[in-house]
């Protein structure tokens, strides 16, 4: 339900779980004894707000005017200023503070016994990795095996797609809820093979992304230009269009749960890697596009991966780039030793 209201001066004893308030003038408002868990407040004027005796667990306040706002008598702006001055390095969002994520995209490979063997080998090799998020995105049939094999390890499991409806007459499809219920954490969406061979469009990628987020999954959304689009010099137009459409209607707080994988279509499975400079150029462009849409702080916080023939030999140079925060790895993720080398490269990147 969307409501527009004016001149609120008191909200009292309400339950407002997961409420989203944006672009509103809420100055001088008083919130008292409210259940405000999960509330998201963006681009609002909260000057002289008074929040008392309320549960703000998981609340998110972004890009808001805060002067004079107090929470249980504590001046929020003063608290923020103190924090910024004393812990400045923690607030400087840059590559060092973004999460590097190396995700394997197994595609249509591995039976269950093969999946278990690969993960058993991998988990021993990467057990001491702490600063890189390791993800294996596996075929649906391998999810249960993969979840069991990696339980209690630092390897997260992802799926390779999900449908956008919650349930229903969609023969052969799998919903985001079904994945989340299993314990799956990530899902690859909009992979170019899905777009090319299974007629997926930016519109359905957008719907899938929203469905995945609603189910609590972390989407890895793939974007990338075709070879002829690059040759026609329209790479940036193509990427900007994909970003705008794939994330249309997705709020900043949700965008932060997404990973973006820049995968030039001409580099996938072809052995032709984008040069590190080409990868950096487009990843930086993606970040600049996000900054225009969501603001610099949000853009700086998003993990942007490169994908396309990334391997043990070229990973270090790719992930050393300022805007390349990891990789989505196809072929090389099917060999534990190669995948480990890539993960270790990201640890140092």
Instruction: Give the catalytic positions in this structure.
Output: 191, 263
Q: Which one, 34 or 309, has the nearer CB to ligand PGA?
A: 309
Distance of closest approach, residue 105 Cβ to ligand PGA, in angstroms = 4
Q: Which residues contact 273 (CB under 8 A, 6 or more apart)?
A: 267, 308, 309, 310, 311, 314, 318
Q: Which one, 24 or 105, has the nearer CB to ligand PGA?
A: 105
Dihedral in degrees, nearest 10, Cα atoms 59, 65, 68, 74 = 30
Q: Which one, 104 or 349, has the nearer CB to ligand PGA?
A: 104
Beta bridge partners of 137: 105, 158
Distance of closest approach, residue 268 Cβ to ligand PGA, in angstroms = 4
Q: How big is the CA angle at 231 (ends 230 and 234), to the nearest 5 degrees?
A: 50
Q: Which residue is nearest to ligand PGA (CB)?
A: 330
Nearest Cα to Cα of residue 69 among 24, 29, 40, 98: 29
Q: Which one, 76 or 267, has the nearer CB to ligand PGA?
A: 267
Q: Which residues bind ligand PGA (CB under 6 A)?
A: 105, 263, 268-269, 307-310, 328-332
Please spell the DSSP secondary structure of 101-170, one letter per residue.
Answer: EEEEE--S---HHHHHHHHHHHHHHHTT--SEEEEEE--GGGHHHHHHHHTTSSEEEEES--BSSSSSS-
Is residue 261 within 8 Å of 222, Cβ to Cβ? yes
Q: Residue 57 phi/psi, 5° resolution?
A: -55, 130
Distance of closest approach, residue 310 Cβ to ligand PGA, in angstroms = 6
Q: Which one, 40 or 268, has the nearer CB to ligand PGA?
A: 268
């Amino acid at each position: 339900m969307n409501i527009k209201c004016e001149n609120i001066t008191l909200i009292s004893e309400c339950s407002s779980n997961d409420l989203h308030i944006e672009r509103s003038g809420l100055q001088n408002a008083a919130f008292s004894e409210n259940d405000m868990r999960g509330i998201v407040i963006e681009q609002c004027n909260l000057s002289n707000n008074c929040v008392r005796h309320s549960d703000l667990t998981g609340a998110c306040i972004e890009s808001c005017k805060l002067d004079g706002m107090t929470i249980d008598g504590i001046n929020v702006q003063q608290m923020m200023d103190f924090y910024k001055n004393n812990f400045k390095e923690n607030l400087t969002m840059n590559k060092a503070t973004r999460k590097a994520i190396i995700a394997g995209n197994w595609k249509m490979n591995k039976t269950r016994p093969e999946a278990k063997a690969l993960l058993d080998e991998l988990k021993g090799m990467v057990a001491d990795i702490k600063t890189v998020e390791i993800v294996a995105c596996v075929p649906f049939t391998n999810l249960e095996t993969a979840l069991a094999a990696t339980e209690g390890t630092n390897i997260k499991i992802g799926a390779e797609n999900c449908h956008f409806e919650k349930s229903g007459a969609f023969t052969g499809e799998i919903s985001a809820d079904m994945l989340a219920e299993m314990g799956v954490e990530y899902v690859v969406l909009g992979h170019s093979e899905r777009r090319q061979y299974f007629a997926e469009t930016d519109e359905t990628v957008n719907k899938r992304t929203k469905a995945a987020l609603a189910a609590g999954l972390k989407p890895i959304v793939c974007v990338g230009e075709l070879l002829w689009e690059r040759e026609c010099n329209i790479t940036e137009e193509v990427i900007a269009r994909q970003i705008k459409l794939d994330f249309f209607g997705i709020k900043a707080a949700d965008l932060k749960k997404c990973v973006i994988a820049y995968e030039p279509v001409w580099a996938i499975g072809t052995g032709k890697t984008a040069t590190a400079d080409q990868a950096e150029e487009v990843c930086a462009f993606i970040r600049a596009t996000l900054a225009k849409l969501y603001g610099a702080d949000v853009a700086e916080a998003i993990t942007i991966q490169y994908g396309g023939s990334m391997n043990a030999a070229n990973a270090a140079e790719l992930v050393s780039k300022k805007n390349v925060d990891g990789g989505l790895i196809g072929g090389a993720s099917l060999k534990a030793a190669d995948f480990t080398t890539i993960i270790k490269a990201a640890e140092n990147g």
